[in-house]
Structures are given as C-alpha cells and as structure tokens.
Amino acid sequence: MDLEEAFQVVGQFGSYQRRTVAVLVLTQVYMACQSMLIVLVGSTPEYRIDQKDDVPLSQQELVQHVTFTEDMDTIVTEWFLVKNQAYKVSLAGSLFFAGLLIGNMVFGPLSDKIGRRPVYLTGLFFGVVFGYITAVSPSFEVFALSRFLVGLMNGGIGLVCFVLTQEFVGKPYWAMTGTLNSVTFAIGIALVGVLGYFVQPWRSLAMAANTPGVLIFLLSLSLPESPRWLYAQGQTEKAEEVLRFMARRNGSPANSLMLQRVRAAKLGGTDNKDMGVLQLAIHPVLRIRTMVLMYVWYACSLVYYGLTLGSGATSGNRYVNISMSGLVELPAYPICMYFISKQWAGRRKSLSGFLCLAGSACLCTMFISENPGRLVDVTSLALLGKLMVSAAFNIIYVYTAELYPTVIRNAGLGACAMSCRVGGILAPFIPSMRTLHASMPFTVFCLSGLSAGGLGLLLPETLNRPSAETLDDLGSPRHVRVLESIALLYDDDKRKSNHK
C-alpha cells in the first residue's frame, strides 16, 4: 500500500496524532513570544532632553541630558536608545528576522537530509538557551547578538514544526493542522500583551517569555520521526515501525501494514541528485512556482509583521493594541478554512482575494484621519488589514506544502520562508517611515498586498488533488506539454509522409 492508504489504516487524525500535533502547535506560542518581545522590551517611554541647541549628542552625553518622564523599564531606558541611538531598537528586531532568514536557509534543506526530528529538537534546545542569554545581556551588543541567535534557531524549528504537523496526519487534515499553527501563533501574540502588562521589567519579561520553551522541549522528546520523510528516503521498514506505533496508540490493528518498497533514488526522480535545493531552479514546474511563491511569502510577511510590530505605536494602550493584534487574527482562520475547502474558491482564489482585501484596507487608511473617537479610524482599518493578511498567511503555508512534493517539501518551504524573512527584516523599519509622511507605511503595505494577490492567480489549484511524493509526480508544465504535443503531431505527419 502507499502512504495515504497506510494512514487510512493507522488513522488519519487519531488520538495519538492529536496529542502529537498539540505539542507541536504549542511551539508556535513560544515563537510568538520571541517574535513580539522587541515590541515591549524596546518600547520608548516619554522623555525630555535638557539641551539648549540641536547639536547631536554622543551616547555618554545622552545619559547626562535625557530624563525619562514615564515609568518604564526597557532596553531604551537602560541603554538610552533615543535620538541618534533609536535605530538600534529596530535593528534588534531586524536581526531577529535575519536570524529567521538564515535558519530557514540552513535548517530547511538540512531536515530534508538528516530528518525532521533531530533538527527540530536541536533548534528548540539552543533557542531556549539563547533566549535566556537575552534576559541577562550585559550590553546592547550582547542583546542584539542573542536576538539574532534566537531567530536563527526559531527559523529552523518553526519550519520543521509546521512540516511535522502535516506529515504526521492524513492529507485531508493538512489544512486543519496548518491552520492550528497559525491560531496558536495568534494566541501567543495576545498572551504577549497580557504578559507584558503584568511583568514590567524587561529582563523579567524576557525570562518569562522564554520559559514555555523548556516545557515544550521536554514534551517534544517523545516525538517520533516523520513516517513520510522516512518513506521518501527509502527507509521503508522504519516508516512502517512508526506507522504501526501510531496505529497502536490510536487503537487500530495494523500488524499487517506493509508499504510499497520503493528505492530512495526512485522517489526523488531518476537519480539522487534530483533531490536538493537546486531542483527549485532547474525543474521547469518548480522554478515558476517558487518564483511566484517567494514574492507572495515576502508580501505576506512584510504586511503581517509591519502591522503587528506597528501595533504598539498606534494610538491607545500598547498592551491592549498588541493583544488585539493577536486576537483579531482568530476570526480569520475559520473564514479562510471555509473558503479554501469550497470548490468555487479553493486555495488559489482565496489567497489572492484575502491579499487584495488586505491591501485595500491599508489603502483606505490614507483617506481616514487618525482619530480614536471615530467609528472607523486608522487603528480599526489596520486591524482589518491584519485580519485579511492573517488569513492569506495561513493559506500560503498550507498551499505551499501542497504545491511541493515530499522529497523537496522542506527545501521548497525553506526557500519561500527565506523570502518571507526578508519581508520580516524590513518590517520593523516600515512604521518609522511615518517621519516622511503619515501614509507611507500603509502605501507600502497596500502595494505589496495588491501585487502579491495578482501574482497568486498564476499558481495551480491543489484542492481535492493528490499530493506529489516525487518530482516525477509533478509532470510537465503546460507550455512544455503543448510543445511535446506539437512535436508528436509533427513526428506522426513525418512518418505518414515517409510511408507514402
């Protein structure tokens, strides 16, 4: 039997898989805490500078002349990151996303080669270690380096964690498990706002935000390797062992479970060299998909994190705004789940539609004055845009996993996540474009959302279609099939002419 038939015997989403997925999606809460930490620990309180002229002050002079009038304990107040030093707060946030970028590039292909489980556990362990270094950093330089290293580890565990939640269950449940990842990340953002309200000193907040990672790591030690990865590597017997173990935990008899014996080389194509990141550029189908997906991921990340990281700077209570920024995502997931499961909408149209709606919401902010007393203000439109782009972000995770075959799925997700992190690196600096013009940040978000929504229509639909396990399952792109048909017709005519 093949893998999908085996999951029907084992249970596509049995009790054991539910517990396993629950542990994996909890990792998203930890990642959300790390992603949003800079919003609170980097908050700039009200301050005044006792200076008669406008001559730029050095770091030592700032310490003598700056007085903070708001009672807050952040990295800004500890290291006086104001005026010409204020860029360091955005820099620390960008370094985290730069770490995510490199982590996606390194750990994605690595997990395709050595396995999902060792990469996930190693990244989670060192992510927690570096997270505690953040809390005890003696200087900004150490703080910034620790944020980069935490991002590096998070880049690996986030990608592998998502893939594992897909590969432990049957394909009909991929959309649901993918959505659970997004839901728990949104809950994590909301919890950061609550945690920041009750834990004020930034070092204590960093310690508290990192501690859930310890519990998640201990729970993850019992996780098995992905049976889909084992099968794709030709380790059929080990894949059968994992599937039988899952079946016993689900209460399903599967002693006679036998998978088709297929060599790893055949799974990857005609040769082992077919497996690798290089195939994303060489393979005619994967090349087009990857180019489009990389831009869509970039736009989703730029708009999502730009609106999220900018939530603390909008009018109103910063803790309420951060929590609302997370909670507003929750309605997006049942909405997008409804649309992507309908034949008339599917993955492709739903993705493009939500991205265009997010861009349109950001466009509308340019015509509304920032007045909290109005029924429709900039903050509410920004939250609407966040809801729409959250739905698109959730779809693109599920959609991308379905567009890539198993043998190169992590490499494909890694390449897309790499462009996603480029958007994340730029996102902390976009809200600061308000100094040029109040509408500049939303102009960037608007153009990004609308352009990505248009490009998304170039992708094929995957709803109710079997997932590809090998590169050969992808077939040929449409223009190649047309050329092949023309060539066959030409050969037939030539043979007929010769026969005559």
- In three-state form (DSSP H/G/I as H, E/B as E, the rest C), the secondary structure along 117-152 is HHHHHHHHHHHHHHHHHHHCCCCHHHHHHHHHHHHH
Q: Which of 344, 311, 307, 327 is nearest to 442 (CA)?
A: 307
Residue 31 has φ and ψ, to the nearest 5°, of -65, -35
113 in the same domain as 167: yes
286 in the same domain as 420: yes
| Residue at which a domain ends, from 212, 236, 261 | 261
Which structural domain range is residue 382 located in?
Answer: 277-468
To the nearest 10°, the Cα dihedral for 193, 197, 198, 201? 100
Whether residue 365 contacts residue 442, with contact meaning beta carbons closer than 8 Å, is answered with: yes
| Residue type at 422 in one-letter notation | V
106 in the same domain as 18: yes
Confirm whether 92 is domain-assigned. Answer: yes
320 in the same domain as 433: yes
Confirm whether 323 is domain-assigned. Answer: yes
Whole-angstrom distance, CA of residue 358 vs CA of residue 47: 35
Q: Which of 176, 184, 463 is nearest to 334 (CA)?
A: 176
| Residue type at 279 in one-letter notation | Q
Place of tokens 């109040």: 438
Place of tokens 């200087």: 139
Rounded to the nearest 10 degrees, what angle do helices 15-41 and 236-250 cross at? Answer: 100
Rounded to the nearest 10 degrees, what angle do helices 116-135 and 15-41 cross at? Answer: 30
**H-helix or E-strand spanning residue 155:** helix 140-167
Rg (CA), the chain: 25
Q: Which residues of the chain have pLDDT under 50?
A: 264-274, 476-490
283 in the same domain as 235: no
| Residue at which a domain ends, from 233, 261, 289 | 261
120 in the same domain as 178: yes
The two tokens of residue 328 are 């507003």
247 in the same domain as 100: yes
Confirm whether 347 is domain-assigned. Answer: yes
Residue 47 has φ and ψ, to the nearest 5°, of -150, 165
5 in the same domain as 131: yes
| Structure letter (DSSP) for residue 55 | P
Q: Is 492 exposed, middle or buried (0-12, 13-18, 19+ CB in 10 A)?
A: exposed
Whether residue 486 contacts residue 395, with contact meaning beta carbons closer than 8 Å, is answered with: no
Whole-angstrom distance, CA of residue 411 vs CA of residue 119: 14
145 in the same domain as 235: yes
- Total domains, the chain: 2
What's the confidence (pLDDT) of residue 366? 78
CATH code for the domain of 387: 1.20.1250.20
pTM reported for the whole predicted model = 0.76
158 in the same domain as 29: yes
What's the confidence (pLDDT) of residue 10? 85
Whether residue 203 contacts residue 215, with contact meaning beta carbons closer than 8 Å, is answered with: no
What's the confidence (pLDDT) of residue 475? 63
Confirm whether 478 is domain-assigned. Answer: no
Whether residue 255 contacts residue 245, with contact meaning beta carbons closer than 8 Å, is answered with: no
Q: Which of 276, 236, 230, 301 is nearest to 404 (CA)?
A: 276
Q: What is residue 68's three-state secondary structure? A: strand
Confirm whether 82 is domain-assigned. Answer: yes
257 in the same domain as 284: no
442 in the same domain as 413: yes
Confirm whether 160 is domain-assigned. Answer: yes
| Residue type at 88 in one-letter notation | K
| Residue at which a domain ends, from 261, 290, 307 | 261
What's the confidence (pLDDT) of residue 136? 95
Give residue-wise pLDDT tens across range 401-419.
888 887 787 778 778 877 8
Confirm whether 87 is domain-assigned. Answer: yes
Confirm whether 474 is domain-assigned. Answer: no
Give residue-wise pLDDT tens across range 79-117.
888 877 888 888 898 899 889 888 877 887 788 888 899
